[in-house]
Copies of this chain bind each other. A is one copy, B any other.
Amino acid sequence: MPLVTAHVSMSLDGFVAGPDQTLEQPLGVGGLELHRWHLGDPDNDVDRAMTERILAPHGAYVMGRNMYGPVRGEWDSFADGEMWRGWGGDEPPYHAPVFVLTHYPHESVEMAGGTTFHFVTDFDEAMERAIEAAGEETVTIAGGASAVRQGFAAGLIDQILINHAPVVLGGGESIFADLPDLRLRPVEVHSSPLATHIVYDVDRS
């Protein structure tokens, strides 16, 4: 089995996106502040090293539909019916299969540089296919909150990197909703003024 990881930036009150998410503000009110540590040029070595780490290659990715694009409803309801091809331009940074969770099936979209987006309607199926595709390499759940939450609920996540940003959002999306028995074990801690980066193993004991 490949290692299954996840990665989120989180507020002090436990939210990975703020309240009132809109197309214009996809991270909700204040949500962008969670990402100050890696937006623009990180200005210290710790944030730089963590930024490189989250861009490190994985064998396969699973992500929620909002991580893939702004399209809601049917794919052809957007942009005069032209298929959305992800936020990452012609050559997205994944270089691996990406399984996108969606209620709307679509044929796969092949991009330059080895990234192929597959559209899957079922979380378990997405994880199975990602695990198979990854072989010996890691599978990572690239967000959003709901995908990570499903990964925890299914007992599939081995390790999560949380970038704890020292801000309060007051509401929004949580990866921990309905997971009151989740116990983690910090195994690595790195800190900068903009975030405390903690790698946690999921504690199955």
**B-contacting residues, A146-198, CB 8 Å:** 162, 164, 166-171, 174, 176-186, 189, 191, 193, 196, 198
Q: Is A49 an interface residue (CB 8 A)?
A: no
**With A180-B30, A185-B193, A186-B191 as contacts: A166 and B200 at CB distance below 8 Å:** yes
- Top 5 A-B pairs ranked by shortest CB distance? A170-B180, A13-B14, A166-B184, A14-B14, A189-B191
Are A13 and B186 also in contact (CB < 8 A) when A180-B30, A180-B168, A180-B169 are? no
**Count of chain A residues with a beta carbon within 8 Å of a chain B beta carbon:** 33
Residues of B within 8 A of A12 (CB): 14, 162, 176, 182, 184
Among residues of B, the one whose C-beta sits closest to the C-beta of A166 is: B184
Complex Cα gap A181–B12 (Å): 12
- Give chain A interface residues in 9-27, CB to chain B under 8 Å: 11-14
- Structural contact, B185 and A196, CB atoms closer than 8 A: no
Looking at A13, A167, A169, A181, which has the most chain B CB atoms within 10 Å of its CB? A13
